Chain A
């Protein structure tokens, strides 16, 4: 017994004497309270301004995702103004579609972000992961918040999850973005009718 214990004791004492403190070892975290200090960075960062990277393949032509431009309220009224008398309303303020710079017309490609996300929704549904499908559908909704079909898709998923109250609210929101009497509007009507 003694033979087993003694070396251990010796090492223990030895190592204790070898000075684990004193600049050595891991300082207690209280050691310095201003760690986020100032200073640094003796040498300059070498920032070169390179020639713009040429894409390995020619840039794929791409257009903006289709955005249905809807007129502002003031664009709408066909002003029936008594002949010869100027309207007291201010002239309608032209509403530019969002981008400040005109976009060159390019052939449209199918791979819009929404389309890509809808494929992901399908994949999640196929895998039976409804909540993931809902999450991805919401991501699509954030990107194109006025697309009735995306909201409708989300409503469908909620209905499949049995969350019918949420499904109804979302479907009505979808309906508010659908063109009246469009196929999607009719689908949503039908969907709302069949919700328990």
Chain B
């Protein structure tokens, strides 16, 4: 009692002794009442919190799963890479899911199965045989027989973390291997099933052991206490707090079953740290340390995990393998002494080599540029809170092989084209999409691998230069007033438009080509001829074409638009060229295919959409010229290196003072857009052909881009035209002709047509050609 306090009491008429006695009793009564109130409050709190125990689960982002079937464009190396990334283990004999075996052209694997948005993929054993870059055939075993196709589980490429940084994969008790439960009980809390929340025997034993040792060597807290402690991790660790925790443990045991408490413990406990991501629960720890699921782990591996709660950092098997093995063996010894395992099992597990991941699997930092696009797409339907806390599974369209190959090629490739050499200033952006569906396969926001800064693929909005020209020529061809053999004037002009200074465009090297064919002007990217054509077609028609092809912002209606004075981000350019690659069918670029709950129930699916925005015949004519870019035009330099991938279609782009170097091109399977430039918008010394085209070629060669096999529309006819473009029929020279595609009713001008009535034979021949 505080004496000064005592002195301050007012005088009383009661005898002093009895007065003091009453004082003590009333104080004690108050304390008891207070204590009871405290107990009730704690009891209420723990019940409320435990019942509402719902972890904030990060959203998991997956790449698209690898599809395996005869004929698939997948090499053996690509498959084994993917299997390793998924944590499949190379084994001499396949006994379990998650194992594979590779030799030469043959890969055998046992898939794990996965809950996809469109149904469950079973776990299957298959043999796959390769021929070059393709799968030649695939078959199962006696039980499964023929297997027409198999889908691997998707690789996790990112997480959207809750604010507290906690990550976990919730698991129910029946899915936890019994060995793990026994290991934990053996080492942490032997009397778990018999105590009532706190374990007096354990505490006394710990106390004795600690006193004897003169330091703390043993703890007496039960799993229940540890769980409580973990649930209120952020609170200070005072004596009062510990008493509170013990009370809470008792209350927990009073209201909940042992299984409920054990399940919560298995999911809650902290087992590792990666950057600002905290690894909680044993299911995630199995993935984190072994890249495998809990039910695939052997006794020694389970024992290793069971040893981690005591000190996940101190016993971190990635950093301190000896300590981790020692701890594991302690766990195994306890299991043996308590009769959970037999002596031979113990010996085997004790001697097992430690086989944890050398490094934690790459998370978040992995694909920031692609992820920004994913977040943009998701923002339409999901708020940030839902993404951080509800454990959504998000299935993206990223192709890991395309993304990784592109990234691995990009840095070296940019270095190789940079002038002056190796300044490291030249920046890059790449977008690769599926030519058919518009699904985004890969994105790079800078030259550096995994670059997480300014995302140029989305945010570097630059003039697109000659990349705009296909829109000009397509508008012209579609108008019906022009053919591939229309004669354009490539001569200097000065254009005056309202509200803008006079504009005098020129060709890239100030050459003047005079009269040229329309297809030639596009293939060789002639500026003056394009201005001639565009002014005849009308700026409004060109602007409208850009909108139809998929450009969503307003198009500036100045004559300089015709040479690309319209600013776009690489991803916007990719949309335009995706529509061209789709033969005039626009499919909005997408990064997300489906969203499911943590257990795989579908929430949202974003399907293939496609809308015809240009007639196929005009598209076919345009593509003739865009293939000509590789065969005769500004991308001819790349054709030697692209070999068997030709024909391909594409277009170079260069802006004033060589500030931007662009290339956009496509094959049958992929569309790729490459931008190179300096962040300060200075001269790069590169044209589209000397910069971006070379980088594009390096990447697409690695990806084995597939040639364009465009089907000509039924009404296309081929006609010979004079090689020399003339406007006056009298000068026509039909000794040399070029055969070009035309549409009926839109045949070449008589001045250049070498298949007039005189060449009946040629027409006949043409007919035959159609059959």
Contacts and interface: CB of A to CB of B under 8 A. Distances in A.
Nearest to B165: A29
Interface in B663-705: none
Nearest to A59: B139
Given A80-B765, A134-B607, A176-B585, A56 B741 contact: no
A190 interface: no
B662 interface: no
Contacts of B641: none
B198 A15 contact: yes
A20 B436 contact: no
Interface residues of A, number: 114
B1 interface: no
A193 interface: no
B535 to A, nearest CB: 29
Contacts of B632: 90
Contact of A101 (B131, B148, B239, B319): B131
Given A15-B221, A89-B738, A48 B141 contact: no
B661 to A, nearest CB: 26
A88 B723 contact: yes
Given A33-B273, A96-B644, A131-B605, A57 B141 contact: yes
B146 A37 contact: no
Contacts of B583: 176
Given A57-B142, A71-B709, A116-B148, A42 B70 contact: no
B319 A39 contact: yes
Interface string B76-117: 000000000000001011100000010110101000000001
Contact of A37 (B104, B141, B318): B318
Interface in A59-80: 59-65, 67, 69-74, 76-80
Interface of A: 1-2, 5, 8-9, 11-29, 31-53, 55-57, 59-65, 67, 69-74, 76-82, 85, 87-90, 93, 95-96, 98-101, 103, 106, 109, 111-113, 115-117, 120, 124, 131-132, 134-136, 138-139, 141-143, 145, 154, 166, 169-170, 172-173, 176-177, 180
Given A12-B247, A78-B768, A59 B137 contact: yes
B436 A145 contact: yes
A9 B242 CA distance: 11
Contact of A132 (B119, B737, B740): B119
17 contacts: A12-B242, A20-B220, A20-B245, A22-B219, A27-B313, A29-B233, A33-B273, A35-B272, A35-B275, A52-B106, A77-B739, A80-B737, A111-B146, A138-B437, A143-B149, A169-B585, A170-B608
B737 A64 contact: no
Contacts of A100: 131-134, 644
A86 B168 CA distance: 71
A55 to B, nearest CB: 5
Given A14-B200, A60-B146, A141-B608, 8 more contacts: A8-B250, A18-B219, A28-B270, A32-B273, A41-B321, A73-B620, A134-B605, A173-B585
A5 B647 CA distance: 86
Interface in B349-407: 353-360
Given A11-B246, A56-B142, A19 B219 contact: yes
Interface of B: 32, 35-36, 39, 67, 69-73, 90, 92-94, 101, 103-104, 106, 108, 117-119, 127, 129, 131-134, 136-139, 141-142, 145-146, 148-149, 165-166, 198, 200, 203-204, 206-207, 210, 215-216, 218-221, 225-226, 229-230, 233, 237, 239, 242-247, 250, 269-270, 272-276, 278-279, 309-314, 316-322, 325, 353-360, 434, 436-437, 583, 585, 594, 602, 605, 607-612, 616, 620, 623-624, 627, 631-632, 644, 646-647, 706-712, 714, 718-720, 723, 734-741, 754-755, 759, 762, 765-766, 768-769
B139 A43 contact: no
A100 B644 CA distance: 9
Given A1-B32, A43-B353, A116 B131 contact: no
Contacts of A22: 215-216, 219
A19 B210 contact: yes
Contacts of A27: 270, 311-314
A1 B608 contact: no
Contact of A40 (B127, B318, B608): B318
Contacts of B317: 40
Contacts of B353: 42-46
A90 B631 contact: yes
A107 B314 CA distance: 61
A17 B207 contact: yes
A34 B277 CA distance: 10
A95 B358 contact: no
Given A25-B221, A82-B735, A93 B646 contact: yes
B293 to A, nearest CB: 19
Contact of B103 (A52, A78, A106, A112): A52
Contact of B237 (A21, A47, A95): A21
Given A52-B106, A73-B623, A35 B316 contact: yes
A196 to B, nearest CB: 17
B242 A16 contact: yes
Nearest to A134: B607
A20 B229 contact: yes
Contacts of A52: 101, 103-104, 106, 108
Given A73-B627, A172-B585, A24 B219 contact: yes
Contacts of B200: 11, 14
Nearest to A97: B709
A19 B647 contact: no
A141 B225 CA distance: 55
Given A42-B321, A115-B148, A70 B92 contact: no
Nearest to A177: B711
A98 B134 contact: yes
List 9 tightest A-B contacts by C-beta distance, closest first: A78-B769, A24-B219, A35-B273, A43-B353, A16-B242, A32-B313, A100-B132, A12-B243, A29-B278
Contacts of A42: 321-322, 325, 353-354
A169 to B, nearest CB: 4
A13 B247 CA distance: 10
Interface core residue of B101, B148, B219 (most chain A CB under 10 Å):
B148
B219 A20 contact: yes
A82 B73 CA distance: 42
B708 A72 contact: yes
Contacts of B203: 11, 14-15, 18
A95 B275 contact: no
Nearest to B166: A29
A181 to B, nearest CB: 8
Contacts of A90: 631-632
A16 B1 CA distance: 24
Nearest to B33: A1
Contacts of A115: 148
B718 A38 contact: no
Nearest to B586: A169
A57 B359 contact: no
Contacts of A13: 239, 243
Contacts of B32: 1-2, 5
Contact of B310 (A16, A23, A35, A101): A23
A137 B600 CA distance: 19
Contacts of A73: 620, 623-624, 627, 647, 708, 710, 712, 741
A113 B32 CA distance: 75
Contacts of B710: 70, 72-73
A78 B318 CA distance: 66
Contacts of B106: 52-53
B439 to A, nearest CB: 8
A36 B274 contact: yes
Given A20-B242, A21-B216, A47 B623 contact: no
Given A76-B712, A116-B149, A49 B127 contact: no
A83 B218 CA distance: 100
Contact of A88 (B278, B354, B357, B738): B738
A176 B708 contact: no
